[in-house]
Amino acid sequence: MSTNIYIYYKVAAARAQEFDRAAAKMQAELSLQHQINTALKRSAEMKDEQHTWMEVYSSVPPDFMQLIDEAVARHGLAALIESPRHTEFFVNISSCA
């Protein structure tokens, strides 16, 4: 079974462009170095001048959270995020019809 990681948090709307550039650069680096698929998403709605953002990492190895944490520090994302980073892990399953 492969694991997908979903990480979500709040970013001030005023910092959205700066955050988008930094997060996209971080994910491109991780994708290239580790041959994984990534995605960066943002909620359509804004609340309290913030959007919810989500990083997605597909089919990652077991120790990948450490690599993400190191990349977040290296790219300065923590300084642009307004809330704790919430992480959820999902596994791909095979359904038989």
Q: Which helix (H) or strand (E) holds 87?
A: strand 86-91
Q: Which candidate, 31, 37, 33, places its Cα nearest to that of 2?
A: 37
Q: What is the mean pLDDT of residues 79-94?
A: 92
Two structure tokens written together for 2: 């492969």
pLDDT at 55 over 70: yes
CA distance 17 to 1: 36
pLDDT confidence tier of residue 96, bands split at 50, 70 and 90: low
CA distance 31 to 25: 10
pLDDT at 37 over 70: yes
Q: pTM for this one?
A: 0.91
Q: Indicate the residue type of 73.
A: A
pLDDT at 1 over 70: no
Helices (H), 1-97: 16-34, 64-75
pLDDT at 48 over 90: yes
Domain positions in the chain = 3-91
CATH classification of 3-91, choosing from 3.40.50.150, 3.30.70.600, 2.60.260.20, 3.40.1580.10?
Answer: 3.30.70.600
pLDDT confidence tier of residue 97, bands split at 50, 70 and 90: low
Q: What is the mean pLDDT of residues 8-12?
A: 98
Q: Indicate the residue type of 19.
A: F
